[in-house]
């Protein structure tokens, strides 16, 4: 397994876990708890970061393939 595939596979696994975390936070509800709100924002940012990582892996794959 090459580096690009490893990055992509790791990001896919992290994305699944982050999505699960986000779903659990949704079940907690919105409420007025600032700590829950902060956790939800962090989970959202984590998902964005992981998607960016997967996009980077795809760009590397394309570059490696010459296209």
In the chain, domain spans? 1-11+33-67
Q: Which residue has the tokens 């997967």?
A: 54
Residue 42: C-alpha distances to residues 3, 7, 19, 37, 48 (Å): 27, 21, 12, 9, 10
Sequence-distant (≥ 6) Cβ neighbours of residue 32 within 8 angstroms: none
Q: What is the pLDDT of residue 7?
A: 87
Q: What is the pLDDT of residue 23?
A: 87
Q: pLDDT per residue over 20-64, tens digit each? A: 888 888 888 767 888 888 888 888 898 899 889 889 888 988 998
């Amino acid at each position: 397994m090459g580096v690009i595939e490893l990055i992509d596979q790791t990001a896919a696994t992290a994305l699944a876990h982050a999505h699960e975390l986000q779903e659990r936070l949704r079940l907690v509800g919105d409420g007025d708890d600032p700590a829950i709100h902060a956790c939800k924002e962090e989970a959202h940012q984590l998902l964005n970061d992981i998607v960016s990582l997967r996009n980077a892996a795809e760009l590397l794959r394309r570059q490696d393939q010459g296209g």
